[in-house]
Amino acid sequence: MTIASQQWSSRFMFIIAATGAAVGLGNIWKFPYIMGQHGGGAFMLVYLACIFAIGIPVLIAEVMIGRRGRQSPGLSVKALAVEANVNPIWQIAGWMGLVGGFLILSFYSVIAGWAFAYVPKAVTGSFSGLSAQQIGQIFGDFSSDFNGLLLWSTVVIVLTCLVVAKGVKNGLERVIRWMMPALYLLLVALAAYAAVNGDFAKAASFMFAPDFSKLTMGSVLVALGHAFFTLSLASGVMMTYGAYLPAKVSIFRTSIWIALADTSVALLAAMVIYPLVFAYQLDAGQGPGLIFVTLPIAFGQMPAGALVGSLFFIMLVFAAFTSTIAMIESVVAWLVQSKGFSRAGACLLSGSVLWLLSLLTVCSFAGFEATKVSFNFVGKQVSNWFDIIDHLTSGLLLPLGGLAVAIFVGWQLPKNISQDELASRGWAFALWYVAIRWLTPVAVTLVFLNLTGVM
Ligand code: TRP
């Protein structure tokens, strides 16, 4: 059975599902805090440029590979290599994505567990009237408690596997169909709330009046790396979902829609967070704790904070959940297609491996002595296992995977195969081809060199 026997029921469904895979903690948790660390508006402009000049072209290439190959990522790339009469070793571009995506998921499900755990905290109004210090304490205690971390990441993994086990039509579509629109509506409502009740003027000038003096070359490269992460590129997902895409659908237009939806969620998230941050005189550049430490302070002080806070964390769980579903799906699809597993068996196996891998991150956050390390891992000083997995994925596998896709499609695959699959020969194709052949390899090489400390 090839993957193609299961298809998205419509182009709209593919857009919703692929957007669900792209939108996640990267948009709502990571984007606002790295933007805060890198100077606001100027960083945002660079990030937008990276999305449009590099992210979208690679996204198009990945969806194209998936649809033409109609198999799981590694085998799809291999099928195209065979069709093009080039070395099948290029299939590594697909396999790297599976490995990278699975490793990302091992810590992603732990952070998704944080979001889950914050739902009951918000619902019961436990932030109400607390000081910044007390809320920092709550986060510190929670994020270092082994049992709590284990419980919530296990919940995320089990729920993800249950949905994926039901299959694309029965499981994924049914869940994603209402999850994504609900997420969007919640964000719009929260942004409106924040605009009225927060310091909208300050947030607007922070976001939309770029101060280029704060922008360094390092920030530019962070923005480029995040463009990859946020669109779920080089993680197998977009190729896998592309394999479910009906033949007549325009890959160009669909990919642009996905990127626009993903970007608008990130911008909306920033518009929820920054008016609140400034209204309560909090630090925009405080780092990864921004959501889990800063927002609860605002929720604790604003009227109806328990309600607003609950909505926010529920929304974050939704966003993370559609990403974890996508991730497991690409591994499950491969096990079912190539290794003869049933969907349920494949979910059980990949869920178990994932759960074991997630223990590395759980133990790291719990601060176990055995997880502590200290060495320079390809240009980054790592201090625990989580740091190693994080850098192995975002620092190495994503940039290298993206580079491999761009070189394969831009330099190995004959141009006419791309023209045929994309059903385009006009200016749009020409633009995309320049981006995939030149812009992407050069830019990704720069990111890679920077991340590995070569320059
Ligand atoms: N794009 C996701 C986010 O912004 C993160 C991510 C990267 C991802 N690679 C992935 C999610 C692969 C699912 C599958 O949160």
Task: Note the pTM of the prediction, 2 decimals.
Answer: 0.89
Q: Is the predicted pLDDT of residue 59 greater than 90, yes or no?
A: yes
Please indicate, yes or no, if residue 401 is contained in any of the structural domains: yes
What is the 330 CA–ligand 1 centroid distance (Å)? 12
Lowest mean pLDDT among 128-142, 146-160, 251-265, 379-393: 379-393
Residue 2: predicted pLDDT? 44
User: Mind listing the pLDDT tens digit for each residue in 144-161?
Assistant: 899 999 999 999 999 999
For residue 343, give the CATH number of its domain. 1.20.1740
Q: Give the 3-state secondary structure of residue 374.
A: strand
Domain for residue 366, yes or no? yes
Beta bridge partners of 384: 372
The DSSP code sequence of 106-155 is HHHHHHHHHHHHHHHHHHTTTTTT--HHHHHHHHHHHTT-HHHHHHHHHH
The answer as to whether 243 is a domain residue is: yes
Domain count, the chain: 1
Provide the domain limits for residue 303.
11-451
pLDDT tens figures, 418-436: 999 999 889 999 999 999 9
Do the domain assignments include residue 5?
Answer: no
Q: Give distance in angstroms: CA of 195 to centre of ligand 1.
A: 28
Q: Does 163 map to a domain?
A: yes
pLDDT surpasses 90 at 268 = yes
| CA 231 to ligand 1: nearest atom | 1
Does residue 221 lie in a domain region? yes
Q: Looking at the domain assignment, is residue 6 inside a domain?
A: no
In this predicted structure, the answer to whether residue 178 has a pLDDT above a threshold of 80 is no
Q: Which of ligand 1's atoms lies nearest the C-alpha of 320?
A: 15
Task: For residue 24, give the ligand 1 atom closest to its CA.
Answer: 15
Protein residues with CB under 6 Å of any ligand 1 atom: 21-22, 24-27, 101, 104, 229-230, 232, 235, 237, 323, 326-327
Q: Establish if 2 belongs to a structural domain.
A: no
- C-alpha dihedral, 355 to 370 to 387 to 332, nearest 10°: -20
